[in-house]
Amino acid sequence: MWQQLNNQLIASDINTLARCVSLVENEVDGYEQFMQSLPVNNANIIIGITGPPGAGKSTLTDALIGKLIEDDKKVAVLCIDPSSPFNLGALLGDRIRMSQWHNNPHVFIRSLATRGSLGGLNPKIIEITDVFKAAQYDYIIIETVGVGQSEIEIAGLADVTIVVLVPESGDEIQTMKAGLMEIANVFVVNKSDRDGANIFTNNLRQMLAPAFKNKNDEIPIIQTIADQNKGLEELKEAIIKNKSHNKEKKEWLFVEKIYQLIQKKRMKDIDKSDLYLEIKQQIKDFNLYQFIEKYK
């Protein structure tokens, strides 16, 4: 079954792609062998879009799709939605907003639930991204839910990480500096038609300036008005330029992915509910360090 799916996936069959994502996400028996058989494709660009809630990430993603599919390019979008509290499924908000692309043969959009992940991403995001890479998509966009500084894990997955801010983010800059502000390859000041956009952009540039030895190292700061498609050409150029100038990051991206996959694999058989029941029986004479010794 897996070899047949693999062949159909490489041929860019959309129905097969959707099925493969579901099989991998649900860890169907044999999916690990399927992942091992996927062809290597590092020619595409993985774009992470993150930032605080209300910054307009979904609107920006929607506008960016239109810009990226120019020149007959293919774009896959993974929208990481908040989990339903009832079934841990995605709430599908982003796919509703991006409905204009559903029948476009060059665009594939999939919503994934966080399933309780604190970092703002789906627990199988690494594997699912590689499935899209095997399906020969030129650009893979991953839009996170916007949960704050814990979203920095997107930096370990994306070739280019875009942090989206708005002019009103001015009071939050110092707070975000320790998290989101340090993972960006490109900053986007969205909704830049609002009052204070230029002042905010200049303040952001001045705050970042001490970190760069020369002008070539500076992180691009691009003003956009996503719902009017303004600034998208500059953003596209910044994405492509960053990918070509960021080759040394590739090795560290692989290190981060390997680390996360090994960590998940080693923790797979540990269930919090089982730990709770075991600790409950020993709570009177419980020693934390003796307890964890058996898991080493």
* Cβ-contact 94, 62 below 8 angstroms: no
Do 7 and 90 belong together in one domain? no
Do 35 and 170 belong together in one domain? no
- Strand, coil or helix: 76: strand
pLDDT winner (highest mean) among 2-6, 38-42, 161-165, 276-280:
161-165
> Can you give the three-state secondary structure of 154-165, one letter per residue?
HHHCCCEEEEEE
Quote the pLDDT of residue 225: 97
The percent of residues above 70 in pLDDT, for the chain, comes to 77
- Comparing 32-36, 45-49, 130-134, 178-182, which segment has the lowest mean pLDDT? 178-182
Q: Name residues whose C-beta falls within 8 Å of residue 238's C-beta, 6 or more positions apart in sequence.
A: 186, 220, 222
Do 31 and 66 belong together in one domain? no
Do 49 and 85 belong together in one domain? yes
Do 76 and 214 belong together in one domain? yes
d(CA 288, CA 50): 37
Does the pLDDT at position 229 exceed 60?
A: yes
pLDDT winner (highest mean) among 141-155, 238-252, 281-295:
281-295
Do 8 and 113 belong together in one domain? no
Domain-embedded: residue 261: no
Domain-embedded: residue 290: no
Partner residues linked to 197 by β-bridges: none
* Mean pLDDT, the chain, integer: 81
pLDDT band at 207 (very low <50, low <70, confident <90, very high): confident
Do 95 and 209 belong together in one domain? yes
Does the pLDDT at position 61 exceed 70?
A: yes
Structural domain boundaries enclosing 169: 40-246
pLDDT digits (tens, 9 = 90+) for 5-22: 888 888 878 899 999 999
Does the pLDDT at position 137 exceed 90?
A: yes
pTM over 0.85: no
Domain-embedded: residue 262: no
Do 55 and 21 belong together in one domain? no
Do 158 and 203 belong together in one domain? yes
Quote the pLDDT of residue 291: 85
Quote the pLDDT of residue 151: 56
Do 51 and 29 belong together in one domain? no
pLDDT band at 289 (very low <50, low <70, confident <90, very high): confident
Do 128 and 225 belong together in one domain? yes
d(CA 6, CA 17): 9
d(CA 37, CA 55): 39
* Structure token pair of residue 278: 């075991």
In the predicted model, what is the mean pLDDT of residues 194-203? 92
Quote the pLDDT of residue 149: 43
Do 164 and 69 belong together in one domain? yes
Number of domains in the chain: 2
pLDDT digits (tens, 9 = 90+) for 68-93: 999 899 999 998 876 544 344 444 44
d(CA 179, CA 116): 20
Domain-embedded: residue 208: yes
pLDDT digits (tens, 9 = 90+) for 166-197: 998 766 666 555 555 667 889 999 999 999 99
Domain-embedded: residue 273: no
Domain-embedded: residue 44: yes
Q: Name residues whose C-beta falls within 8 Å of residue 153's C-beta, 6 or more positions apart in sequence.
A: 119, 120, 121, 260
